[in-house]
Amino acid sequence: MKLPFKLPKRKSSYEIDMTNGPLLGKITRFAIPLALAGILQLLFNAADIVVAGRFAGPQALAAVGSTGALNMLIVNLFMGLSVGVNVLVARYYGGGAHKDLSETVHTAILTAMACGLLLVVIGISLSRPLLTLMGTPEDVIGQSVLYMRIVFAGMPAMMTYNFGAAVLRAVGDTQRPLYFLMISGVINVLLNLFCVIVLRMGVAGVAVATVVSQCISAVLVIACLVRSDAVYRLDLKRLRIYKGKLLLMTKIGVPAGIQGAMFSLSNVVIQSNINSFGSIAMAGSTAAGNIEGFVFTAEDAFAQAALSFTGQNYGARKFDRINKVLINCILLVSAVGLVLGGLTNLFAGPLLGVYSTDPQVIEFGIQRMLLVGLPHFICGAMGVITGSLRGMGSSVAPMLITVFGTCVLRVAWVYTIFPLNPTWQMLFLSYPISWLATGIVQFVAFLFVKKRAKEKAGAATPQS
């Protein structure tokens, strides 16, 4: 396929030397494009939600929003493998193991395509029974099922983009994925408006626009890897599954996927309780959750930085430098989380007004943002520690801790504390409490895992 423009060739400026020199500037340089790329990806969903709410009504807004937690529950089971890709590529790149790196890249892309096809079958066949199980209201479920089925038809493209972007992130290249998402994001917004306003396709138009944009971003990232002259170059003729690399990828990625799925499962339980407040409350929660998503995405860029920087330094056996990575990332993510959480609460009314003009919808959203958005920096710090653990190859420990802290604890809250005072505020108080408990235990695990890894490798090499 000939592209309408020439992709940039690899330059040294795209990659970052994570194993030498000062860290603060490099982490910031890594995280900013990644945060912007994540925000653009969220704008896909924001465009869906805004167009649905403004031009197709509150039921359409609720329909699009009510599928989010369920979609992520299913997708996260497979997306965890991209974490394994990131860790392995970073480790081999930092350690100079070029053959292993190449085998990982080719295994990753073929695995992404296969997982995407499997997700098509799962999403289309299980959408209605799962949405029914969640208690989706009758005035919403028809549109929710339609939206979910169309979105899952685009899963091969979504998986391919995310696995390809994981390869680039692992070597410090967070710029080109940003360029690709800028292109596909603009197309997504334009198609949203055309399909809903001009063609009057409703939620189907919103979903189609999302799928088309995902296909474009997937083509761009594959073309980038194919045309690269770096050690992570992709040769489509060499696509195959290298058993050893797949096993390692699975060992790291499956626990991460289970963690993400369990995290989403707790959100599905929360969503089921949100549904009990009615479609207006659902719409308010959907809008507020989307705004909070921008805060989370900015914070998650530093969790990804912790993963990649830790992975490369682990591969280079620079264990003391891993401590510096963690400290820098926690300071940066806390500052970003506090600023963005404060700003989104300060301007909550106008921001929610973008999604809906209904005063009740806005009021429900404001109440949620106060309890979830303002203390969101705690979630950011928790994510950084998790990223550092995974960068050292430890994926089971953070999975177990997160499953208990943010899943078991949150679900227990919903079924024990919440019924004693079943208010909107009490429901969302479960978020900051579960983040804090999980983060404390994750930090203890980090200290233990790093000490064990250092002992296993012998004395650490001189640090820079």
Name the phi and psi angles at 22, rounded to 5.
-60, 150
Asked if pLDDT for residue 460 goes beyond 60, the answer is no
What pLDDT is attached to residue 229?
A: 85
pTM of the prediction?
0.75
Rounded to an integer, the average pLDDT of 374-382 is: 92
Q: Which residue would you say has higher pLDDT here, 277 or 12?
A: 277
Token digits of residue 376: 């969101």
49-65 pLDDT tens trace: 777 777 666 777 777 77
Residue 13 pLDDT grade (very low, low, confident, very high; cuts 50, 70, 90): low
Asked if pLDDT for residue 437 goes beyond 50, the answer is yes
Asked if pLDDT for residue 292 goes beyond 80, the answer is yes
What pLDDT is attached to residue 44?
A: 67
What pLDDT is attached to residue 10?
A: 42
Q: Which residue would you say has higher pLDDT here, 381 or 71?
A: 381
Cα-Cα-Cα-Cα dihedral sign, residues 184, 186, 189, 190 = negative
For the chain, the straight-line distance linking the first and the last C-alpha, in angstroms and rounded, comes to 45
Token digits of residue 461: 């090499």
Rounded to an integer, the average pLDDT of 420-428 is: 87
Compute the distance between CA of residue 308 and CA of residue 399 in angstroms, rounded to an integer: 18
159-184 pLDDT tens trace: 999 999 999 988 888 888 889 988 98
Asked if pLDDT for residue 427 goes beyond 90, the answer is no
% pLDDT > 70, the chain: 92
Q: Which of 131-140, 284-293, 383-392 has the lowest mean pLDDT?
A: 131-140
Residue 388 pLDDT grade (very low, low, confident, very high; cuts 50, 70, 90): very high
Contact yes or no for 418/273 (Cβ under 8 A)? yes
80-127 pLDDT tens trace: 788 889 889 988 888 888 899 999 999 999 999 999 999 999 888 988
3 state SS for the chain = CCCCCCCCCCCHHHCCCCCCCCCHHHHHHHHHHHHHHHHHHHHHHHHHHHHHHHHCCHHHHHHHHHCHHHHHHHHHHHHHHHHHHHHHHHHHHHHCCHHHHHHHHHHHHHHHHHHHHHHHHHHHHHHHHHHHHCCCCHHHHHHHHHHHHHHHHCHHHHHHHHHHHHHHHHCCCCHHHHHHHHHHHHHHHHHHHHHHHHCCCCHHHHHHHHHHHHHHHHHHHHHHHHHCCCCCCCCHHHCCCCHHHHHHHHHHHHHHHHHHHHHHHHHHHHHHHHHCCCHHHHHHHHHHHHHHHHHHHHHHHHHHHHHHHHHHHHHCCCHHHHHHHHHHHHHHHHHHHHHHHHHHHHCHHHHHHHHCCCHHHHHHHHHHHHHHCCCHHHHHHHHHHHHHHHHCCCCHHHHHHHHHHHHHHHHHHHHHHHHHCCCHHHHHCHHHHHHHHHHHHHHHHHHHHHHHHHHHHCCCCCCC
Compute the distance between CA of residue 218 and CA of residue 202 in angstroms, rounded to an integer: 25
What pLDDT is attached to residue 339?
A: 95
Q: Taking all residues of the chain, what is their mean pLDDT, rounded to a whole number?
A: 85
What pLDDT is attached to residue 45?
A: 67
What pLDDT is attached to residue 56?
A: 67
% pLDDT > 90, the chain: 31
Q: Which residue would you say has higher pLDDT here, 381 or 132?
A: 381
Contact yes or no for 295/344 (Cβ under 8 A)? yes
Asked if pLDDT for residue 289 goes beyond 90, the answer is no
Any idea where the domains of the chain sit in the sequence?
21-452
Q: Which residue would you say has higher pLDDT here, 464 or 209?
A: 209
- Listed ranges 46-50, 260-264, 406-410; the one with the highest mean pLDDT: 406-410
Q: Which of 242-246, 262-266, 439-443 has the lowest mean pLDDT?
A: 262-266
180-232 pLDDT tens trace: 988 988 888 888 889 888 888 878 888 898 899 999 999 999 999 999 888 89
Q: Which residue would you say has higher pLDDT here, 141 or 211?
A: 211
What pLDDT is attached to residue 451?
A: 84
